[in-house]
Each structure stands twice: as C-alpha cells, then as structure tokens.
C-alpha cells in the first residue's frame, strides 16, 4: 500500500507542474488570437469608414464589428487599441 501511494504521489509531482505550464501557454495563445481578432476588426472598420481617424472599443461595438462579449474578453486579456493597432500588454 505504501508503494502504491508513493508512486501516485510521484506521478502527481511530475504532472502538476506540466499542467500549470500548459495553462500559461494556452492563455498566451488565446491572448494572441484575441489580438488578431481585434486588429482584423479595426482594419475592417477603417476600410469601411475611410474618413475615420481613430478607433476604440466603443466605436467597434456600436458599429457591430465586435460583440460586447468580445470587447469584455479583449479588455480582460489586457488588449488595448493604440493608434489603430491592437496591442496586448502583460
């Protein structure tokens, strides 16, 4: 019984750090994907509205380029719009 518990605890010690690393990697991939979505919508908005000089989340949401859920997710991920480019911070 002791040997079985030792083996199980050893496996847990090996697996848990790997899971934490995978979670951080997945969050980074998600942040990159959200940045790409926001940048694509910024570009689409500017192409459709040639006279527009600046874009922000409110404009994109009001015009239907981003949903409220996408805006809140992008803000939660730390993505900001700086000079018409989506930038991920953090």
Give the dihedral of Cα atoms 21, 34, 57, 72; nearest 10 deg.
Answer: -50
pLDDT in tens, the chain (90 residues): 899 999 999 888 888 777 778 888 999 999 999 999 999 999 999 999 988 888 999 999 999 999 999 999 999 999 999 988 999 886
If phi > 0 it is left, if psi is from -120 to 50 it is alpha, else beta; for residue 18 that is alpha
């Amino acid at each position: 019984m002791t040997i079985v518990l030792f083996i199980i605890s050893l496996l847990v010690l090996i697996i848990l750090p790997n899971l934490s690393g995978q979670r951080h990697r997945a969050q980074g991939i998600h942040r990159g994907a959200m940045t790409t979505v926001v940048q694509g919508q910024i570009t689409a908005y500017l192409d459709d509205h040639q006279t527009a000089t600046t874009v922000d989340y409110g404009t994109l949401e009001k015009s239907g380029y981003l949903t409220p859920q996408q805006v809140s997710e992008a803000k939660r991920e730390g993505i900001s719009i700086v000079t018409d480019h989506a930038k991920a911070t953090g």
